[in-house]
A and B are shown apart, each in its own frame.
Chain A
């Protein structure tokens, strides 16, 4: 612990709790309360990281995570922000972005090649020739990115919570603490957050600056502690502002809290900004506030002999703090010709420190041994703020502190929609116009003196409480005076050097000359320079670079800062681990009443939306294919039972029930007899199929309508809207969850059902497509005789809580008939043999009824249904072409779209490669269609399927499907239905043809 100072009052470390850790394989010891950066700097190490592009050595710089010089990895934890992450015992840390280790980093060669890597190098160099791009991509990808993923380490879960506050105060410095107490005292529930481990802000490290009186911090903290309305959260970053004061609070361990506030006080302070000069990125060059934090919070000596680059009073506070910590201050270079006229200035001069007014640090020189600074080249400035190198001199030192100015930490303000304006008095952006419910206080508001900050905080807190109706309605507290006297920031602390390496952005190694070159290349706005030169595009989002970047662009383009504009940092303001963003994800799971029984029968489940449905029932010693085949056979030869409880089930009742059904469905229902069902197809206004089901007429003004599992919510929603728009006297009720449903199918289904019901199941009394209400297994039930799978079948709907009972009753009653439960996969194959389409599988977001061979279900001659007008236009177009001679079959097809769902069979009998759903139909190298369903049919001894094909393909024409691996598989268009084309199995003899007829064409 080479650089640890003697114990000092107010330090944040606990010297009784030493912590051992390793960095780059070497063991070190720090203390509880240290951050990783402070513990490493205390150990005497100066080389802590490598820069992104040139792999330059880097050390502590802002020590506030406003740069990413020190970014480390601890085993599976990537990209740890070492400046602000607490040290833990046992951490095994490594610097990211090195090739072969930090010391011998092979990437250093980029530093020597820097002049061959100009701005925009990657954009310009790696796009030609195109065939080499995959190689370039691999190269760039391995060079880009930080940290290395360790896939074997398992997933870490972060929590996700929700929070509420009347007033959220961001930042617990003097103004934030005052704002929180004022709002809390007014009766508002306050959440106060600060990204540091302790509250206090500048009062915890800059005791000489800005006039913070002794005891001020203690008083402020006491007010907070004594106020039950104030909930203070340390180590918590308010990382973005979204609509209606929705702010994600990120905590390293607890994850994310999504907090909704009534109003927000932004008291985020200001971020110290560097000067730009040659080698300003060397280890040992740091911000004044970084040195102060090292000293006061962590008792770490920043360096032994230092030079301070000054442009404000804060710099002189830094000098005094350094002296007190035992650092020799070799020189102060003050950018201002007039120097510092204050008590602090006097104190520094009295201490015997040499102050060079009107001088800059022109260059940092490397030490002869080890990494980092060995000297500072100090040059006088002419009246135009240009360095005069001919009169420069060198001062030996191992550290350079920069205190030249500040930038408002205004990211949340900007995100909330505040307008920022540039104050020429402060040389800083300050809020010019605040958004509703947003208040700013302290340095972000341009208020710098400690007493003024407290006043400003109290004002903002009072107004924020008042915004949510808390506190009295007395006169609004007066604005605190903004900073008076010399500006805390220098307007242009930028000093060019012919040999370059004067860095504006340390994250991305953006040099002053890169910005110049970008503008020369014609990128003439800050937003473009920002992107082309990657200024502010690194992980710290320009916290230490945007201000100087804007100044440089403004000067080069001879514009004012205000005209040049600002760069709004995007959410999230600080880098956040992906795991925190992901949190824990919760997916609703819906199970039918019979779910337990499916499990007992060995069901393998698949998800259908949120529902779990048995895909098939696994049988011991038999594979999936065999199990499914067994289920198919049971339905074709005996009897099977499938849980269809996930189906949508709607009731439509009331005097206008028929009218509503007619307007929603494409078919005609006026003449549907009570006690009968009819296929129901729904389209949207564009004539695209949205859903289908069965519509049963229970009485003159009472219909029962089924819909698809995934479509019913939208259908119900649209129906209730149309009821309002049309002013119909009809009620739609969604019974999807209230009813269980199962389909008993197969030649022996009637026998099984007859055991359990008194309903007359004879062909005459309960014909195909009939619906009956009566008791089944002692439970009131609706029974519909439908034929989706192409066999005699009954769909039985019962109240959900009786579902399991009825299922069990069927299983028992069917035992002698060999009843088997069957799953979704068997049902898909059975219906495919019948050529029945599944909406959403065999149709897509553009399919009209004719394309799906459902034209027979569309009645264009009835008064109205949704989509009818569009379908009439489509039909007319096809008809006109037909009248013109009907030669272009493709255009005739457009009556029904230029494609059509066609049945097909593979020619090879299924021995070769098997295409899958969504595989493409290829002709002469072009895509002409797509497979929507495919399966082996035992009944037919073939692989059959449905595919979208050009409308002119007739039965017998051949085509090729490209299967996995690129093999082209031959197929032939065949007639649909594939199986039992007369539908004799599902209906009684002599009944009228009422089901799918295979379409018009």
Chain B
């Protein structure tokens, strides 16, 4: 049974341009410092960036099930803390100030890990020099059909009817973790201190004041377009609906995600004769289809066609959108400078 046929009239979302993403993780740190700095949250990365192909975060999340198939909820694996990657603590204090000395080693306390949230960075697949990889940043997809919401027996997961943001009501959550298994993107974490689950909140306190989410506003690569996904006056709407170059990740998971990706291009392969071999792309089409669905091929053609047009004629509205001359235009109206907010001290 579809849990949420009633979609928010206005749905906030993001478009992430993978051709501009440089895997720098400023988004990751912006989110970390704002939301997941407390105890029990050390291992949480509501925003992740992973090298694809790769196992991602949590490890092999794409094999963990969840989501819907033909409207029917699918069983999912409950990701473990180890699969997400532990928040390693280091022996810094002992090393620096408790007499270990210059022959000591800064190291992870306890058992040495063989996995972490970005363990396979810059590895990718294929064979040198024809190998390939790219970066895939992820947040909660704030799905139109959220599997997490459907799975929660406490009805602790809410989809805001004004803006479509999916949040976990911490007052209701009891930490049953059905949401963690049900989410096919595996973007929900358990807070081991409080015993409740937490995830990306699309920076709702910020967007409610007109400020773009921290991961988007702090992105030095200018990768992320923000706004209502049907706002045809903003780049986000145009990229998704008009140009159709922004696609959801794993649409087959059946949750109607609201984060969309401009698919990645890569350098041409060289033939044996040392000349560019245009007969096949460096990143195999099959692989991109497996991530973004069959529409990705049209999206890539549109992108390449418009790039060629720009090269030849200097014109292309799509290129103008992706260049984003004016940074603030990327945010669909959520472009307020947070510094202008002046808080009133609580009286209590």
A and B together in one complex: no
